[in-house]
């Protein structure tokens, strides 16, 4: 699908309707499925990843039941997934679900085969598979990628991870940790990328009665045999979805994004994106009650060299903004993004290159030399089948005018209503084949 966007005449004050956080929802749904009792989850998002997660927990023996719009009752399995013999599960394109599902499936006495899309089969799993095998699970794969056949006994114990490949490996092991007889003790060779997501995992686990402890060396531990108990939870708004609208405000002087309650702990998520927006010239007021972002500097200021590893899903957005800021921005700590739904540094560098900008997705990070005003060689971009790339490229319409994005349907992975949300702000959105 191709979308053609034209920007509104003005934005003014706007309060977009945001989808619920898929980060929290992914974790909460799996923990509700593992818990003893029936949990009530309000605000589960409607997207491709969550549909795959619902299918997975149902196959594991949990009983999710929709009782209202975005509201689900989930009867858990009491700590022991029960897959029918011969079960094979398609996880779609969700890398997060794949990593979590591998650890959860290792708690089962029955072997299950986990598979997914062509891109998901390419994404790295070797380190997690090796950790599961070392901690007692039975794991069979070809070249450490999906499809994977996995079963228990996942007994737990101590494991050291590289830290530089994916925070989801650590989160997966921690999620299953309370249900193992030995618990989990994790250390890292290097400080873990996207460590805020490991902390988010620990915070959601705590809501279900799980306990994660930090040690002085930067590692994590989970006591054995504590299990999970059912709870009621309202899924908060998605912080990365909010980031696209915060970026819109940053690009338009006189505009103001207002969002209530988004940055209350424990669901801060990628709040570091706000620090970068402020450094580029936006006015940001964030607190326990909500967030306000106002457009400030024109043009935006380049970032220079910054470590963007703590807000990985916001990197395409930062790169697009950097393309409008005259000067050099070098986003480091982004090497692991080569293994997302696309090779994100390369994909966004390629698309910004269509504007004649100097870009480099190299070993040092993602380098963008921005320009103001932009002089477009082409205003037709491609999403690379990546929802984050598609949504970030939409921001360019504020500088280029009418802009087209091919593969716009990729947004269904996390924010199916994204194009309607832009239309509600005054963008002209035309969909075509």
Radius of gyration of the chain (CA): 21
* Residue 313 designated active-site: yes
Task: For residue 390, give every residue at least 6 positions away whose Cβ sits within 8 Å of its Cβ, in sequence order, or none.
Answer: 383, 405, 407, 408, 410, 411, 418
CA-nearest of 340, 357, 275, 350 to 308 is: 275
Q: At a CB cut-off of 8 Å and minimum separation 6, what does 23 contact? A: 96, 197, 200, 238, 239, 240, 267, 269
Cα–Cα distance list, 65 to 23, 49, 84, 104, 354 (Å): 21, 17, 20, 20, 47
**Please, are residues 61 and 81 in contact by the beta-carbon 8 Å criterion?**
yes
Three-class secondary structure of residue 29 per DSSP: helix
Q: Is 394 helix (H, G, I), strand (E, B) or coil?
A: helix
Which tokens sit at 430? 């035309």
Sequence-distant (6+) residues with CB within 8 A of 96 are: 23, 26, 49, 168
Catalytic residue chosen out of the listed positions 313, 385, 386, 417: 313
Catalytic site residues? 313
């Amino acid at each position: 699908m191709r979308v053609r966007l034209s920007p509104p005449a003005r934005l003014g004050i706007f309060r977009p309707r945001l989808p619920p956080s898929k980060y929290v929802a992914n974790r909460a749904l799996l923990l509700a499925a593992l818990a003893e009792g029936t949990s009530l989850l309000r605000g589960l998002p409607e997207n491709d990843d969550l549909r795959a997660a619902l299918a997975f927990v149902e196959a594991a023996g949990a009983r999710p039941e929709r009782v209202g719009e975005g509201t689900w009752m989930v009867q858990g399995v009491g700590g022991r997934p029960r897959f029918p013999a011969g079960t094979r599960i398609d996880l779609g394109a969700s890398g997060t679900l794949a990593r979590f599902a591998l650890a959860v499936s290792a708690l089962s006495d029955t072997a299950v085969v986990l598979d997914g899309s062509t891109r998901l089969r390419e994404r790295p799993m070797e380190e997690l598979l090796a950790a599961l095998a070392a901690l007692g699970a039975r794991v069979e794969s070809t070249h450490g990628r999906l499809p994977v056949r996995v079963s228990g006994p996942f007994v737990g114990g101590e494991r050291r991870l590289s830290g530089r490949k994916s925070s989801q490996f650590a989160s997966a092991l921690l999620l299953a940790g309370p249900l193992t007889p030995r618990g989990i003790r994790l250390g890292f060779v290097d400080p873990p990328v996207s460590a805020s997501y490991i902390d988010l995992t620990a915070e959601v686990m705590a809501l279900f009665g799980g306990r994660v402890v930090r040690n002085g060396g930067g590692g994590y531990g989970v006591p054995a045999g504590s299990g999970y108990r059912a709870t009621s939870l309202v899924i908060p708004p998605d912080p990365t979805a909010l980031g696209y609208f915060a970026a819109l405000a940053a690009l338009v002087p006189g505009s103001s994004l207002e969002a209530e309650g988004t940055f209350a702990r424990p669901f801060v998520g990628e709040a570091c994106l706000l620090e970068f927006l402020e450094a580029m010239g936006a006015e940001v007021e964030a607190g326990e009650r909500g967030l306000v972002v106002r457009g400030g500097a024109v043009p935006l200021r380049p970032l220079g060299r910054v470590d963007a590893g703590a807000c990985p899903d916001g990197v395409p957005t930062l790169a697009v903004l950097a393309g409008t800021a005259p000067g050099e921005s070098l986003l480091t700590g982004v090497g692991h993004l080569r293994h997302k739904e696309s090779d994100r540094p390369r994909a966004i560098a390629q698309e910004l290159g269509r504007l004649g900008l100097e870009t480099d997705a190299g070993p040092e990070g993602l380098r963008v030399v921005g320009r103001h005003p932009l002089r477009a060689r082409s205003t037709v971009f491609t999403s690379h089948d990546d929802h984050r790339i598609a949504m970030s490229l939409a921001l360019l319409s504020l500088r280029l005018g009418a802009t087209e994005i091919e593969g716009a349907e990729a947004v269904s992975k996390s924010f199916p209503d994204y194009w309607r949300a832009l239309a509600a702000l005054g963008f002209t959105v035309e969909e075509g084949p």
